[in-house]
Structure 1
Amino acid sequence: MAEPNTNQSNGVSTTPKNTPPTTTYTPRYIDIGINLADPIFRGRYHGKSRHPDDLKGVVGRAIEVGCSKLIVTGSSFKSSRDALKLAKEFPGTVFATAGIHPCSSSIFSSTHHKHHDESQSEGEGGEEAEHTPACGPDPTKPILDGDGVDHARSTKIMTDLADLITQARSNSTTTTSNSPAAELVAFGEFGLDYDRLHYCSKEVQLHSFAAQLQLAASLTLQLPLFLHSRAAHADFVRLLQEAFGPRLERLEKGGVVHSFTGTAEEMRELMGLGLYIGINGCSFKTVENCEVVREVRLDRLMIETDGPWCEVRPTHEGWRYLVEWEVKAKAEAEAAAAAAAAVAAEAETAAAAAAEAEAAASDPTATPGAEGEAVKPGRRQRQKKPQQQQQQAKKNQKKESEVPERYKVVKKEKWEEGAMVKGRNEPCTIERIAKIVAGIKGVSVEEVCEAAWANTVKVFGVDS
């Protein structure tokens, strides 16, 4: 793959640090879950500006690796509106979802004091409130049942959410055959998360999920569902079936359970109901996780990064598949280079032989050298470096990572244009998800990319 040129007009750096070996297939990706509305992609961390807004660079790097479609997750009223704004800012590339995440569902509680339009997540107070919740579980200080649901507030919340969806559809600049609004492509993110009860109690989560399912089912033109389920499978399936039927036969547009980390049995049940499975870095943490991924059918697969969270780490079981991919790619590149060198050497030898023959014909007294050229007096053979010098040179070389970064990575305090920020997962890393899935399943990256692309376009209609 040739290195793209730098696009100076939009401030996007388009020069990768490392490029993968040339192949006949150019991968294409759709990131079904990326939290681009989080201020971290604008250079703000915990309420403080740490570096310039580099969102265009983030989107540009995604496009460079072939990730041309980004579905930005709406997890609260605020983030849903921000996601819709981004869809307007990057038409045809960015799309949005709208819903209330289980970790943002404390707005339904009788003890919640903020207006739901201003709230991101109860339990994330002050400067943290503007950020999306991290993906990892936290069993500390769970909010216990008992506070109850404020039903009058709930009615107002659902009316406002319905209005938000209606307004998004009416404001849409274009439409597709699969979705009533090109910008708004899914209802969600919503569902249940019993691993993170420190954000919201179980009883309030159950109410939030059921209320949103009722709204989703009542829409004249249904939207696909962007679903969240952590450690809550039985209740999750039960409420879905209550809203859409035992086989989800009334779910017109389908849906995806994103960031899946459940069991193989749970995954098979979800696929049996016609749902799709979203895979990201959190799906590769353990051997058990990877065995689940192995069983996900390609016709039910979608891929995502869930950035700025859920990056693939060296401690994850899935990392070894990246290492294997790099080893194989390096071996293929070296073999190709050796073959090219052999051809060049053969051509050079033939040319030298022809030149020697021509010289001998014109000057019979010339004495050919070992390499077909006249021996010149006083010429010294080039000596190799002493062994000690070679060993020292090897010691001075910086150890190369087993999985090299495509782009330079820096800490946020040392931000520079064109570089990724350490610890901030970006949609350009989706190529790692595809490689790991391919390695686990024993198929090609092309098969993974094309299956995920087709499934995502079928459900969300983002390839208009």
Structure 2
Amino acid sequence: MFDGVYNSKKHENDLQNVLNRAKNNNVDKIIITCTCLAEIDKSLKICETYDPEGKFLYLSAGVHPTNCYEFIDKNKHEEKEIIAKKEYEEFIKYFKNEQVENSKMENGNKKICDGEKDMNNLNEILLEKNLDTIPGFKYNEKDKEYLENLKNKIIKYPNRIVCIGEIGLDFDRLYFCSKYIQIKYFIFQLKLVQMFNLPMFLHMRNCSETFFKIVDIYKFLFEKNGGVIHSFTDKEDIVHIIVQNYKNLYIGVNGCSLKSLENINAVKKIPLNLLLLETDAPWCGVKKTHASYEYIKDTYEKRAYTNLKKIKNIIKCDDNTIFKERNEPYNIADIAEITYKVREEAVPFDLFCKNNSLKIYNDLRYISTVNKYKVLQIKKRSNLKKNHNIRKMEDNESSFIDIGSNLTDKMFDGVYNSKKHENDLQK
């Protein structure tokens, strides 16, 4: 979409325009979410083209759960799914057995298990005995080669790649990749977290029971390195589970997180110190059908959107050319405004959100000159409702980090159903 492609070409690539709008709306940094090796290469090219100094654009490295068929040969999906299911059962069985037998032993003498901490330490010992193996699972040379390629990208680009992801589970879209294949390669990619001590950018859709079962086994990794469950769409009870049971597990909020009243009630329960903002552009924008739309209705309806449906020829874009059909990083101000209003905060909200991002993504903190940015309390910000389209924000106004945005998408190249505008990524 950022290349103007929406099923067919609508406009030339407008990614420069998109980035200009983001900066003008005080987006300080963007993490480009990668879902496979090919996207890492494309994202690195975007970084070098539009941010050669390395102060604005960063990326993740990993394989999205719906892309995990990339690890295996075509025409073997059903066979591999059956094998992966058995392997996962052995994986779970192994840790249950080892915890019972080993957590009660010390120097050959039985002792009372010291609860959760002992289990956590035991799992770390078991999994770090040999990084080349994972109990229960068997990975072939193709698997190892793919992981090695991911590893080499992280080694080669340490100032760009700031997290492992997007990894996790998606049981809503099993037609893209089956359940146990997803599980097998989610666990496989946690090796990268162990190798590089980077935080995780996590995907969790309709899979909380299995997801948390895996997280429990690797709990030491989360406590040590942290992670964010991005595009959170679960209910209040899942927020409670996360807050009560896991340290350093953050929750990312975007337009999809604010779709229904149930979603909004869940967002209200997220502790401020665990709340992160994102757009997940070009998807997950706030729509008129969303329960949260009322909080930005005036702003949204007064924006001068370009109607893609009326475009017959490929158009050129500038910094004021925006489309309803495509979400983009500058919209993170909408997410901040909605989230702030529904939570009725009386604290410098956006400062907290930015500091959370800098805390979890250590590399961003060290790379950026965070002592130079100035932030006012959001209640003193310029009135967002008066910003009908795009405007230049002053240096002393609030700034944001978009922790998740897929700038490699064809929409930024102008392709929707057909070409609508020239590439506007610079703008």
TM range (shorter): 0.5 to 0.7
User: How far is 1:74 from its partner?
Assistant: 0.8
Q: What residue in structure 2 maps to residue 83 of structure 1?
A: 43
Q: What residue in structure 1 maps to residue 301 of structure 2?
A: 404
Cα 1:307–1:68 shift into 2, 3 Å: same
Structure 2: distance between partners of 1:429 and 1:72:
15
Q: What residue in structure 2 maps to residue 258 of structure 1?
A: 230
Within 5 Å, give how 1:20-59 maps onto structure 2.
Answer: 40-46=1-7, 48-59=8-19
User: How far is 1:103 from its partner?
Assistant: 0.9
Structure 2, unpaired ranges of 5+? 85-137, 369-427
**Deviation readout 1:127-152 (Å, 9 max, x if unpaired):** xxxxxxxxxxxxxxx99943758733
Structure 1: distance between partners of 2:66 and 2:15:
25
Matching residue's letter, 2:177: C
User: How far is 1:43 from its partner?
Assistant: 1.6
Structure 2: distance between partners of 1:192 and 1:103:
8
User: How far is 1:230 from its partner?
Assistant: 0.6
Cα 1:405–1:202 shift into 2, 3 Å: farther
Bigger RCO (CA 8 Å, 6+ sep): 2
Of 311-320 and 415-424, deviating more is 415-424
Structure 2: distance between partners of 1:443 and 1:255:
24
Q: What residue in structure 2 maps to residue 322 of structure 1?
A: 296
TM-score, structure 1 normalization = 0.61
Answer whether contact 2:287 2:293 (CA < 8 A) is retained: yes
Structure 2: distance between partners of 1:435 and 1:197:
34
User: How far is 1:407 from its partner?
Assistant: 4.8
Alignment of 1:206 with 2:183, yes or no, is yes
| Percent of aligned positions that are identical | 30
**Deviation readout 1:228-287 (Å, 9 max, x if unpaired):** 101111211222232343xx56x4331111000112121222234121100000011111
Answer whether contact 2:64 2:167 (CA < 8 A) is retained: yes
Matching residue's letter, 2:5: R
**Deviation readout 1:180-228 (Å, 9 max, x if unpaired):** x2x11111010000001010000100011000012311x1x41111111
Query: Which one of 419, 425, 433 corresponds to residue 321 of structure 2?
Result: 419
Matching residue's letter, 2:155: T
Within 5 Å, give how 1:55-204 maps onto structure 2.
Answer: 55-89=15-49, 90=51, 91-111=54-74, 145-146=81-82, 151-169=140-158, 181=159, 183-204=160-181
Structure 2: distance between partners of 1:257 and 1:408:
31
Structure 2: distance between partners of 1:84 and 1:253:
24
Answer whether contact 2:32 2:59 (CA < 8 A) is retained: yes
Q: What residue in structure 2 maps to residue 291 of structure 1?
A: 265
Question: Greater strand percent: which structure?
Answer: 2
Matching residue's letter, 1:238: K
Query: Which one of 197, 200, 220 corresponds to residue 225 of structure 1?
Result: 200
Q: What residue in structure 2 maps to residue 330 of structure 1?
A: none
User: How far is 1:108 from its partner?
Assistant: 2.5
TM-score, structure 2 normalization = 0.66
Query: Which one of 190, 193, 212 corresponds to residue 216 of structure 1?
Result: 193
Cα 1:455–1:153 shift into 2, 3 Å: same
Structure 2: distance between partners of 1:143 and 1:452:
45
Within 5 Å, give how 1:386-401 maps onto structure 2.
Answer: none
Aligned residues: 302
Matching residue's letter, 2:3: R
Structure 1: distance between partners of 2:342 and 2:243:
19
Answer whether contact 1:58 1:426 (CA < 8 A) is retained: yes
Larger radius of gyration: 1
Matching residue's letter, 1:202: K
Answer whether contact 1:282 1:311 (CA < 8 A) is retained: yes
Answer whether contact 1:257 1:278 (CA < 8 A) is retained: yes
In angstroms, what is the RMSD of aligned CA positions? 2.5
Q: What residue in structure 2 maps to residue 239 of structure 1?
A: 214
Within 5 Å, give how 1:329-344 maps onto structure 2.
Answer: none
Structure 1, unpaired ranges of 5+? 1-39, 114-121, 123-141, 170-180, 327-401
Structure 2: distance between partners of 1:189 and 1:287:
27
Matching residue's letter, 1:96: L
**Deviation readout 1:35-86 (Å, 9 max, x if unpaired):** xxxxx2122333x543111100000011111112111001110112222222
